[in-house]
């Protein structure tokens, strides 16, 4: 019997003894229709993706993954993301052939070569300063007393004395020195003998001694010129004992503190003349 013959008009359901069928859940036909519509939508999407892949010549590496709508979507339906037409065309426009399948491990980028810094050029080797300054090309100098003009500095037995110089070559050589830049102060003087010794004060007495390279030796062997009233004369002041000047006493060269007296000025004044050798 057909469904329409067994079903009376809905406005008079009880006149013929008919009642609604309660064995089937209400709305089942609508659910079937919604499912059919969803399948039709999926089929259309898959077909569209396949057609676009064939047109672009590029194989899709993997199917579109279903994405769940947010909680605001009704019924919690599942929709499938569909690639945009513009994105598919852009992906296939650059490459006429399908892109290679990516490997499981990404290739490691080789580090760019670091430019090597140029090695600094070694500084030009400067000549090592010699302990003994080179003597000037002249024959040296001699130092004469002002108040005893016939006497000169002379090294005798290691001490510097004020002696009368004879005509012998040894005496003249002992009374000839080289004036060099001060060992402790280049603006001052140091004096060397013919055999390479320096004149220095030791216990405030002027002697000839070998340079031991010490700071004390450099200071003891450095004397700064001071010009006094006498024209062409000078006095020599110690570097490490300011206020003490070289003077002769009993014809012995010593380092004595300054005295404001005529005798001190005369004993501490000297003239530098040509070498006697």
For residues 232 and 81, the model is more confident at: 232
pLDDT number for residue 11: 56
- CA torsion 65-66-67-69 (nearest 10°) is 170
Helix, strand or coil, per DSSP, at residue 273:
strand
Residues 6+ apart with CB under 8 A from 126: none
pTM for the model stands at 0.50
Give CA–CA dist 206/160, Å, rounded. Answer: 6
Q: pLDDT digit string (tens) for 24-68?
A: 555 667 777 888 888 888 888 888 888 777 766 555 445 444 444
Query: In this structure, are residues 142 and 274 in contact, taking their beta carbons and an 8 Å threshold?
Result: yes
For residues 32 and 171, the model is more confident at: 171
pLDDT number for residue 101: 47
CB atoms within 10 A of CB 39: 10
Q: What is the mean pLDDT of the chain?
A: 74
Instruction: Take residue 57 and report the two structure tokens written for it.
Output: 């010549």
CB atoms within 10 A of CB 8: 14
Query: In this structure, are residues 253 and 155 in contact, taking their beta carbons and an 8 Å threshold?
Result: no
Give CA–CA dist 10/19, Å, rounded. Answer: 10
Helix, strand or coil, per DSSP, at residue 26:
coil
Q: pLDDT digit string (tens) for 61-78?
A: 454 444 444 444 444 444
pLDDT number for residue 26: 59
């Amino acid at each position: 019997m057909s469904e329409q013959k067994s079903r009376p008009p809905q406005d008079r359901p009880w006149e013929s003894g008919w009642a609604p069928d309660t064995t089937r859940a209400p709305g089942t036909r609508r659910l079937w229709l919604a499912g059919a519509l969803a399948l039709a939508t999926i089929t259309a999407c898959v077909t569209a993706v396949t057609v676009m892949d064939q047109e672009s010549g590029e194989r899709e590496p993997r199917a579109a993954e279903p994405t769940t709508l947010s909680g605001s979507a009704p019924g919690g339906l599942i929709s499938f993301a569909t690639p945009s037409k513009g994105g598919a065309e852009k992906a296939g426009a650059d490459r006429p052939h399908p892109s290679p399948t990516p490997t499981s491990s990404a290739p490691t980028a080789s580090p760019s070569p670091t430019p090597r810094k140029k090695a600094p050029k070694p500084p030009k080797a400067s000549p090592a300063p010699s302990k003994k300054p080179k003597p000037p090309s002249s024959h040296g100098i001699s130092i004469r007393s002002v108040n005893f003009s016939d006497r000169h500095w002379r090294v005798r037995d290691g001490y510097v004395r004020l002696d009368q110089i004879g005509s012998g070559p040894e005496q003249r050589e002992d009374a000839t020195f080289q004036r060099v830049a001060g060992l402790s102060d280049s603006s001052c003087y140091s004096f060397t003998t013919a055999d390479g010794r320096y004149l220095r004060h030791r216990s405030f007495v002027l002697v000839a001694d070998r340079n031991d390279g010490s700071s004390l030796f450099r200071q003891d062997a450095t004397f700064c010129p001071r010009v006094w009233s006498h024209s062409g004369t000078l006095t020599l002041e110690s570097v490490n004992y300011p206020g003490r000047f070289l003077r002769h006493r009993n014809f012995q060269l010593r380092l004595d503190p300054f005295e404001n007296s005529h005798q001190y000025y005369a004993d501490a004044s000297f003239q530098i003349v040509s070498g006697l050798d």
